[in-house]
Structure 1
Amino acid sequence: MGMAMSFMGVGLPSTQMFNYAMGTVYDQLMEKEINDFEDFHKSLLDLFSSFNASLPGKRYDAPLRKEIEACFTKWKGAADEKERKKVFIEFMRKEVKICKLDNTTLIVGLVMPPAAMGVKRAGESVPQLSLIKTIPDVMFVPSVTVLALVSAKLSRRIFSGNAAS
């Protein structure tokens, strides 16, 4: 079925869809008043935040501050609105990357729920930790897992020197 449709030339080309989507994204960016780099940076980070919050599935990493500054310089130096849009679309194509999970996050996410259950069962037998019996498993396990994931991510950022943009 798909082969027959491809021979017929039915469907929208991917470049037209991409340009339409990027035009919509650019319009959303331009809704806010941009006077200087800080406004541009804030607007771009807000755009990424709304993308990651509303779109299911893949998450996107925001580019580094230096890359955003370089884009802003080109964007500000553009002659007209059409050129600015072209600079922005090229920046989005080149610098926006899909967020990838590292092995540490994956391992912590898989190992932590059974470990949390084991810790809870062991803690219930210790008289000093009698309070742990009152916490339901459905609250304890996800809470401990999320805390472990956050601490793994933060410690990885601190030790590797990667700062958030």
Structure 2
Amino acid sequence: MGLVMSFMGKGLPTTQMLSLVMGTLYSKFIEKEIKTFDDFHFAILDMFNTINAALPGKHYDVPPPNQVHDIFKKWEGAKEASEKKKLFIDFMKTSVSLSKFDDSTLITGLVTPPAAMAAKRAGESLPQLSMIKVVPDVIFVPAATVLALISAKLSKKMFLGNVAS
């Protein structure tokens, strides 16, 4: 990819790219009719949902509601469109953070597939679980992994409360 960019010249500097992305986000954001805090918050959530659905790999966490409420108060107080745009861009630059995996999710995702295969092989020899032979490995292993990840996430929320992850 670097070779292609060298043939094209310098490429786009990061400030120009950031300006382009922020301008596009703001134009999509401003299209929505925003009258109340709920409308504003919904527009922010919709924007993050769109970004996370469009970009493969990295995902971004939505800022906490108290930060969104603070920026909404400033947004309401702004009179000019350029001032609102500046507030929006500053808010996005300062409060957007990359979503991070916690250790329990990573370990669960790594350990579960081999454990699921071992459990399936052990279960095939038991007469009570003879039905498990019918389920293909291609379906059993991912299903077990997804269920293990969901249970790890739910147990973390149950025992540790609402911890950001």
Shorter-chain TM-score bucket reads 0.7 to 0.9
Determine the C-alpha separation between the residues in 2 that align with 1:44 and 1:148: 31
Query: What's the secondary structure of 2:58's corresponding residue?
Result: coil
1:33 is matched with 33
Partner of 2:102: 102
1:58 corresponds to 2:61 = no
- Give the equivalent residue in structure 2 for 1:129: 129
Q: TM-score scaled by structure 2?
A: 0.88
Structure 1 position 60, deviation (Å): 0.6
- SS, match of residue 115 in structure 1: helix
- The residue type paired with residue 151 of structure 1 is S
1:76 to 2:76 alignment: yes
1:133-157 CA-partner distances (Å, limit 9, x unpaired): 1111100100110111111122222
Partner of 1:14: 14
Name stretches of at least 5 consecutive residues in structure 2 with no aligned partner.
none
- Give per-residue Cα distances to partners, 1:50-86, cap 9 Å, x unaligned: 1111111211111111111111111111111111111
**3-state SS, counterpart of residue 153 of structure 1:** helix
CA RMSD of aligned residues (A): 2.1
Within-5 A mapping of 1:139-150: 139-150=139-150
The 1:23/1:142 distance shift into structure 2, 3 A limit, reads same
Correspondence for 1:44: 44
Cα distance in structure 1, aligned partners of 2:89 and 2:16: 13
- Counting matched residue pairs gives 159
| Aligned position for 1:91 | 91
Counterpart of 1:116? 116
* 2:67 paired with 1:67: yes
Residue-by-residue CA offset, 1:71-126 (whole Å, 9 max, x unaligned): 11111111111111111111111111001111111100100000011111111122
Alignment gaps of 5+ in structure 1: none
| In structure 2, distance between residues paired with 1:37 and 1:109 | 38
Distance in 1, Cα, partners of 2:150 & 2:141: 14
What TM-score do the two structures reach when normalised by structure 1? 0.88
Give, in whole Å, the separation in 2 of the partners of 1:160 and 1:29.
35
Moved more, 56-65 or 149-158: 149-158
Change in CA separation of 1:126 and 1:89 when aligned onto 2, cut-off 3 Å: same
- 1:151 is matched with 151
